[in-house]
Chains A and B, each alone.
Chain A
Amino acid sequence: MSIYDVIFYLFAILTVGSAYLVVTNKNIVHSAFYLLFTLFGIAGFYVLLGADFLAIVQLMVYVGGILILLLFGVMLTNKITDVKLRTGTLHILPAVVGTGLFMGVLVSMMLRTNWKSEPAEIPMTTLYGLGRFLLTDYVLIFELLGILLLIALIGAASIARRDKE
């Protein structure tokens, strides 16, 4: 068992454990903070898979951006003074049975399939390759995503704006 395996299992326990706490915790703010650990563990997986740039993007966009947005959402839609940060749940039993069955099928399928596995040589940095791909093969998608982000920015601002009545 090499050091790589040990690190993988540590990150797997961190990720799955905190993901479980995210979906079962009663307190929304606690859930958001557990989500931080899940996203951090996934960034660790990216590092283990040799995707250095993606790990940094994961930390900056998810942990630095989306998680803060979610926390804003929690804080703005609950009365903090009433300590009403608890959230109800519904359909627990059918959900446990359904997703449990689904997870069993999915995991057994993943384990039984004979995947083609020939690990690629990881380059020292993926930055050159990613940058070259983004400006050659994927340049159309890249530009479209830029426009999409602009639309999302303007749309979110205009939807969330408070009307003066």
Chain B
Amino acid sequence: MIEVGLHHFLVVSAILFSLGIYGVVTRKNAVMVLMGIELILNSANINFVAFSKYGNFGLGGQIMALFVIILAAAEAAIALAIVLNLYKTFANVNVDEIDKLKE
């Protein structure tokens, strides 16, 4: 049990995933919700790379992790542009107070 194997990486990524969901659910600020989503994506990436090594699947898992990182970059850029627009329109970025699509 003390020797590091596949289980250890999977458990760490499960904990990160749960913490990310906790962040998404509880925080009001939209930027904090984004940070939670980054945690979730990273935990998925750890799983990809861990299975890629311990499952002996070659480099396919690492390629997928690379694609996830690219998508996360695109997602962060778009989401922050939307958050800036929200701030311009509503003067705050609390996700529980913004319930209209226009002013």
Residues on A facing B (Cβ under 8 Å): 1-2, 4-5, 8-9, 12, 15-16, 19-20, 22-23, 28, 31-32, 35, 38-39, 42, 45-46, 48-51, 53-54, 57-58, 61-62, 65-66, 69-70, 72-74, 76-77, 87-92, 95-96, 98-100, 102-103, 106-107, 110-111, 115-120, 122, 126, 129-130, 133-134, 138, 141, 145, 148-149, 152-153, 155-157, 159-160, 162
Contacts and interface: CB of A to CB of B under 8 A. Distances in A.
B12 A91 contact: no
Number of chain B interface residues as a range: 35 or more
Contacts, number: 237
Contacts of A2: 3
A10 to B, nearest CB: 11
Interface of B: 2-12, 14-23, 25-32, 34-36, 38-39, 42, 45-46, 49-50, 52-60, 62-63, 65-67, 69-78, 80-88, 92-94, 96
Contacts of A65: 73, 76
Given A1-B2, A62-B38, A155 B17 contact: no
A2 B2 CA distance: 10
A107 B11 contact: yes
B59 A12 contact: no
14 contacts: A8-B8, A12-B12, A19-B15, A45-B12, A50-B53, A51-B52, A54-B66, A70-B38, A77-B86, A106-B17, A120-B55, A152-B75, A160-B81, A160-B85
